[in-house]
């Protein structure tokens, strides 16, 4: 079974609109972390935001916020006021703390296109 599911292979959004990228995860570990990464066409992976499973508040970093719904095992990324430079591939990822090796499991990604 997939540990990280991103159901939107691609999305088209008008510039300046808010964007929600979906991510659901599957774990029985009570302690885990959730990540979002951005990969522009140049190829480098850029860390955007992190949410720990015990964090009481949703994580925010500038225009990025993580809508964490623990009971639903959902960790959607919200980008406010989208910009052309947000066009990229976005990956949701999870680390399970029970496993000591600090591995991160990645979803298959969502390609976001921002339209002018």
Partner 1 sequence: DVKVTQSSRYLVKRTGEKVFLECVQDMDHENMFWYRQDPGLGLRLIYFSYDVKMKEKGDIPEGYSVSREKKERFSLILESASTNQTSMYLCASSPYRGPSYEQYFGPGTRLTVT
Size of residue set near partner 1 by CB under 8 A: 22
- Smallest distance, Å, CB 15 to partner 1? 26
Contact 75, 107 (CB under 8 A): no
- Residue 72 is given by DSSP the state T
Verify binding: residue 109, partner 1, rule CB under 8 A: yes
- Find the part of the chain contacting partner 1 (CB under 8 A) among 20-28, 63-71, 79-87, 102-110: 102-110
Contacts of 86 (CB under 8 A, 6+ apart): 19, 38, 79, 112, 114
Q: Does 9 bind partner 1 (CB under 8 A)?
A: yes
Per the CB < 8 A criterion, the answer to whether 105 and 37 are in contact is no
Give the binding site for partner 1 (CB under 8 A). 9, 33, 35, 37, 42-45, 47, 50, 52, 91, 95, 101-109
């Amino acid at each position: 079974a997939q540990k990280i599911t991103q159901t939107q292979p691609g999305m088209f959004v008008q510039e300046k609109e808010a964007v929600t990228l979906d991510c659901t995860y599957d774990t029985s570990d009570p302690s885990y972390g959730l990540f979002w990464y951005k990969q522009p066409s140049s190829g480098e992976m850029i860390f955007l935001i992190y949410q720990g499973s015990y964090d009481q508040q949703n994580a925010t970093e500038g225009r990025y916020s993580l809508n964490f719904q623990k009971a639903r095992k959902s960790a959607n990324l919200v980008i406010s006021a989208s910009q052309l430079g947000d066009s990229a591939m976005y990956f949701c990822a999870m680390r399970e703390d029970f496993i000591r090796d600090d591995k991160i499991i990645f979803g298959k990604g969502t390609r976001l296109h921002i339209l002018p």
